[in-house]
Amino acid sequence: MSKIQVGKPVKGNQLIGRENEIVDISELLLNGQSVVIIAPRRFGKTSLILEVLNRIKQQGFYTAYLDLFLTPDLETLSRKITEEILNNRKLGKVFKKIKGDIAEMFRNIELKQTIESFEFILKYNSQNPDSWELLSDSIDFINNYPEKYDKQIICAFDEFGDIKKFNGDRIAKMIRSKIQVQDSATYIFSGSYESVMDTLFVKQNSPFFRFARIINLGYVEKDEFKKYISNVFSGNHISIKDILIDEILDFTKGHPYYTQLIVQQILMNNSLGNFKEGFILKDILQQLLNIENNFLEKQWEDVGKSREIVQTLLILIKHRKSLYSHIDTKKINLGRALKKLSGSGIIYSENNIYHLSDPLLELWIKEKIINI
């Protein structure tokens, strides 16, 4: 029986589709072109990045993965960078374990030799290290360590938009000025909030303007998911009509997180004996609304701060195709509201029609807010 992991990034053969993206991104990186991956929450950014890094590592490259969401301050970020870089020669663990105890550091021969070339590592030992300086040194280290061993490195900064939480502009500028002259390092950045990423990468005066190739990650191809879902169900001896699989994918559109969650939920219902002939997607979706209620409420709270945005979103859900004829343009600046909503990744447009990126949030709004 195959298990479905939902929540953690997926690896190897658990990762469905994305082959084109993996090949394209790897090709760019191997040619020294940095990239930035932009997609709403739970679209599979982290999974994609880890898979790319994993494959590139197998070709003999150095790699590093940093998640800015998990680094509360600059010193932690700098330590994490140093640890990840050292990890390419299996020194990350020792570095982490001894924290900054010099005597201990020198007891490890290889680490001692490394410190002789990269003295900044000793600064972690001081009482009140200057965290700005440490960060700056660790950004240099990303390039200089692999260079010493005649290697190239691919370094990923996941949730890079979070850089804004520490006086972001100054740091972003410092990072840009350093990494643009590095010959041994190429970068992957990723982020969920389009508007934040725009101010870092897309706008003309943004610090990383024209530095990284922009990749907007979409849903996973439905065909790939279809094959996968059929396999999971037959592997679990569940007989399901193809039409239910189509219904699942019509609902999720290939949103990886919700597709996986629905499949997991069907498996659970099945093993509990609740899955009977005639069981329909609607029942599963009701369960999902319960499971995800906190997350969805939070999303709604984030949206709900401006009346203009809320009104626009509600009309968009009710009258997607005739938006303009249902909106009072005297009261609502539609252009501005739509721009804000796409800027935060809540909606996206396809052939000039707007959709919510999160299909379950749409259902939640329909049921809880609009009552339809």
Segment interacting with Mg ion (CB under 5 A) among 26-34, 44-52, 70-78, 305-313: 44-52
Q: To the nearest whole angstrom, how small is the minimum distance from the Cβ of residue 186 to Mg ion? A: 20
Segment interacting with Mg ion (CB under 5 A) among 18-26, 39-47, 75-83, 100-108: 39-47
Q: Which is nearer to Mg ion, 34 or 46 (CB)?
A: 46
Instruction: Using the Cα atoms of residue 131, residue 132, residue 135 and residue 141 in order, give the sign of their dihedral.
Output: negative
Identity of the residue numbered 278: G
Q: Does 188 bind ligand ATP (CB under 6 A)?
A: no
> Which strand (E) or helix (H) includes residue 313?
helix 307-318
Contact 358, 299 (CB under 8 A): yes
Q: Which is nearer to Mg ion, 91 or 261 (CB)?
A: 261
Task: Scan for tokens 């019509």, then name that residue.
Answer: 250
Q: Does 37 bind ligand ATP (CB under 6 A)?
A: no
Pick from 45, 79, 80, 226 the residue near ligand ATP by CB under 6 A: 45
Distances from the Cα of 299 to the Cαs of 187, 293, 294, 306, 362, in angstroms?
30, 10, 9, 13, 11
Q: Does 3 bind ligand ATP (CB under 6 A)?
A: no
Q: What are phi and psi of 275, to 5 degrees?
A: -90, 105
Q: Does 46 bind Mg ion (CB under 5 A)?
A: yes
DSSP SS3 for 86: helix
Looking only at residues 214 through 243 of this chain, which bind ligand ATP when binding is defined by CB under 6 A?
Answer: 220
Q: Which is nearer to ligand ATP, 9 or 92 (CB)?
A: 9
Looking only at residues 319 through 348 of this chain, which bind ligand ATP when binding is defined by CB under 6 A?
Answer: none
Task: Scan for tokens 């692999």, then name that residue.
Answer: 146
Looking only at residues 282 through 311 of this chain, which bind ligand ATP when binding is defined by CB under 6 A?
Answer: none
Q: Does 267 bind ligand ATP (CB under 6 A)?
A: no
Residue-level length of the chain: 372
Q: Is 154 left (phi over 0), alpha (psi -120 to 50) or beta?
A: beta
Pick from 26, 34, 47, 299 the residue near ligand ATP by CB under 6 A: 47
Tokens of 189: 């950045």
Q: To the nearest whole angstrom, how small is the minimum distance from the Cβ of residue 72 to ligand ATP? A: 17
Q: Which of 346, 362, 365, 266 is nearest to 40 (CA)?
A: 346
Pick from 43, 189, 233, 251 the residue near ligand ATP by CB under 6 A: 43
Where do contacts with ligand ATP occur on this chain (CB under 6 A)?
5-10, 15-18, 39, 41-47, 192, 220, 256-257, 260
